[in-house]
Structure 1
Amino acid sequence: MSGPKSLGDTLALIQAGIAARRRKRIEAAARPGETYEQTDARLSAEDAAREQEEAQAKAKAQAAAIAASAERDRKQAEAVNKPAPSVRKPPSGDEQADFFVPSLYDLGGRDVRHVMDVAPYRLSKRDKRAGEVIHYDLPDGYVEVKAGSDGMASVWDYDIVLMMVSHLNEAMNRYRDGKGDKPGRTFKPHVSDILKFTRRGDGTRQVKEVESALDRLKGTTIKTVRERVGANGRKMREVEAEGLISRYSVLSRTDTDRVSAVEIEAPQWIYQEIVGGKQPDVLTVHPDYFLIDPGIGRFVYRLARRAAGKGAAKWSFQTIYERSGSTGTFKKFCFTLRKMIEANDLPEYELREEPGQNGPQLIMTHRDSLPALEG
Structure 2
Amino acid sequence: MTGKQVDLFLDSLINAPIKDDRALMEFPFFSLQKAPRMKPLVYDDGKIKVEVRPGDKGIATIWDKDVLIYLASIINDRLERGLPVEKTIRFNAHNLLQVTGRGSGKRAYELLLDAMFRLRSTTIVTTIEADEIKERRGFGWIETFRVIERRNKAGKKVMAACEITLNDWMFRAIVKDRRVLTINPAYFNLTMGLERRLYELARKHCGYQDRWMIALPRLIEKCGSVLEPRFFKLQLRRVVEEDALPDYHIALRCDAPEGGMSGTERTEARRWASNERIVVCFWPRQTPERPAEPVSALL
Same fold (TM over 0.5): yes
Residue 234 of structure 2 is aligned to residue 335 of structure 1? yes
Report the AA paired with residue 319 of structure 1. R
Residue 294 of structure 1 aligns with which residue? 192
Residue 307 of structure 1 aligns with which residue? 205
Change (3 A) 1:281 1:356: farther
Residue 197 of structure 1 aligns with which residue? 99
Residue 368 of structure 1 aligns with which residue? 286
TM (norm. structure 1) is 0.65
**Alpha-carbon shift at residue 183 of structure 1 (Å):** 0.4
Change (3 A) 1:125 1:146: same
Report the AA paired with residue 162 of structure 1. I
State the Cα deviation string for residues 260-293 of structure 1 (Å, max 9, x = none): 110011111111112123xx11101101000001
Report the AA paired with residue 301 of structure 1. Y
Q: Which runs of 5+ in 1 are unaligned?
A: 1-99, 231-236
Residue 156 of structure 1 aligns with which residue? 63
> Counterpart of 2:157 in 1: which secondary structure?
coil
Residue 124 of structure 2 aligns with which residue? 222
Q: Which runs of 5+ in 2 are unaligned?
A: 1-8, 257-275
**Alpha-carbon shift at residue 154 of structure 1 (Å):** 0.8
**Alpha-carbon shift at residue 238 of structure 1 (Å):** 5.8
In percent, how many aligned pairs have the same letter? 29
**Alpha-carbon shift at residue 102 of structure 1 (Å):** 9.8
RMSD: 2.5
- 1:17-32 equivalent positions in 2, closer than 5 A: none
Please state which structure has a larger fraction of its residues in strand.
2
> Counterpart of 2:81 in 1: which secondary structure?
helix
Report the AA paired with residue 147 of structure 2. V
Residue 118 of structure 1 aligns with which residue? 27
- 1:1-375 equivalent positions in 2, closer than 5 A: 104-126=13-35, 128-130=36-38, 132-175=39-82, 180=83, 182-225=84-127, 239-253=136-150, 256-277=156-177, 280-311=178-209, 312-356=211-255, 358-368=276-286, 371=291, 373-374=293-294
Report the AA paired with residue 106 of structure 1. N
CA distance in 1 between partners of 2:215 and 2:281 (Å): 9
CA distance in 1 between partners of 2:144 and 2:45 (Å): 29
CA distance in 2 between partners of 1:163 and 1:308 (Å): 23
Change (3 A) 1:196 1:323: same
Change (3 A) 1:281 1:290: same
CA distance in 2 between partners of 1:157 and 1:201 (Å): 15
- How many equivalent residue pairs? 260
Change (3 A) 1:334 1:242: same
**Alpha-carbon shift at residue 207 of structure 1 (Å):** 1.1
Please state which structure has a larger fraction of its residues in helix.
1
State the Cα deviation string for residues 319-355 of structure 1 (Å, max 9, x = none): 1111222112110000110111011111100111111
Segments ≥4 residues shifted beyond 4 Å: 100-103, 372-375
Change (3 A) 1:190 1:103: closer
